[in-house]
């Protein structure tokens, strides 16, 4: 039985775009190689941290929503801990309400985007 999860990780801000993408690809590959189905991804980009981590005030935030068995979470989090590029991470299981909320949020974002594209530019 697979559950739906959401994982957010913060990468150190000293990485180049290429290095950041490489780290994201690594974690995406760990998920897909272990049978996870990626539902949604979102690159939140460089953000200010609430408090300094490793003497840094910013970090690259990345979110992946996926379906998998619970055993994969341990494997994923061990890889986060081993990777020095990762400053923080959090993985949560989503209940049916959180899944519905995320889907609704994505649909609304898509509608807004379509409305903006359809609106004539002045």
pLDDT per residue as tens digits for the range 36-62: 999 999 999 999 999 999 999 999 999
Provide, rounded to the nearest whole percent, the portion of the chain with pLDDT above 90: 74
Helix (H, G, I), strand (E, B) or coil at 73: helix
Query: What pLDDT was estimated at residue 110?
Result: 85
Domain of residue 68 covers 3-95
Residue from 88, 99, 97, 20 nearest 56 by CA: 88
Global pTM reads 0.85
Residue 76 CA: distances (Å) to CA of 3, 34, 42, 48, 79: 15, 10, 18, 25, 5
Is residue 10 included in any domain, yes or no? Answer: yes
In the chain, the percentage of residues whose pLDDT exceeds 70 is 98
Q: What is the CATH number for 56?
A: 3.30.70.60
Point out which residues pair with 3 in neighbouring strands.
68
Query: Is 122 inside a domain boundary?
Result: no
CA–CA separation, 19 vs 50, rounded Å?
Answer: 24
- Looking at the structure of the chain, the number of domains it has is 1
- 110 occurs within a structural domain: no
- Mean pLDDT rounded to a whole number for the chain: 92
Residue 30, in any domain of the structure: yes
């Amino acid at each position: 039985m697979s559950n739906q999860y959401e994982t957010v990780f913060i990468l150190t801000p000293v990485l180049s775009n290429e290095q950041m993408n490489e780290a994201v690809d690594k974690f995406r590959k760990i998920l897909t190689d272990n049978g996870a189905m990626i539902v949604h991804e979102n690159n939140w980009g460089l953000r200010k941290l609430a408090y300094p981590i490793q003497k840094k005030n910013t970090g690259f935030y990345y979110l992946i929503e996926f379906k998998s068995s619970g055993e994969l979470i341990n494997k994923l989090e061990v890889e986060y801990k081993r990777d020095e590029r990762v400053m923080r991470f959090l993985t949560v299981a989503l209940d049916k309400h959180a899944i519905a909320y995320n889907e609704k949020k994505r649909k609304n974002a898509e509608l807004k985007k379509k409305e903006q594209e359809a609106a004539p530019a002045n």
